[in-house]
Amino acid sequence: MRGGGRDVVRRRAVPCLSAAQQVHFHHGYDPTPRDRHDMARLRRAFGITTHF
């Protein structure tokens, strides 16, 4: 799994997870409505497949 990148929040560089890492860490539990929303946004933004 490739590492994430970096982004800027309030003029401070912060580490970020890649889309693939975010999908990976959403496995193994029943998703909440927020989790479903997050995965839908990843699908739209990156054209990736998620498990829910």
* DSSP alpha helix (H) spans, 1-52: 19-24, 33-46
Task: Assign 2 a pLDDT band (cuts: 50, 70, 90).
Answer: low
Q: If 0-12 CB within 10 Å is exposed, 13-18 middle and 19+ buried, where does residue 3 land? A: exposed
Instruction: Say which residue the tokens 């997050």 belong to.
Output: 38
Say what the pLDDT of residue 1 is. 54
pLDDT reading at 11 higher than 90: yes
Contact 39, 26 (CB under 8 A): yes
3-class secondary-structure state, position 3: coil
Count other Cβ atoms within 10 Å, centred on residue 23: 21
pTM above 0.85, yes or no: no
Say what the pLDDT of residue 4 is. 79
Say what the pLDDT of residue 40 is. 96
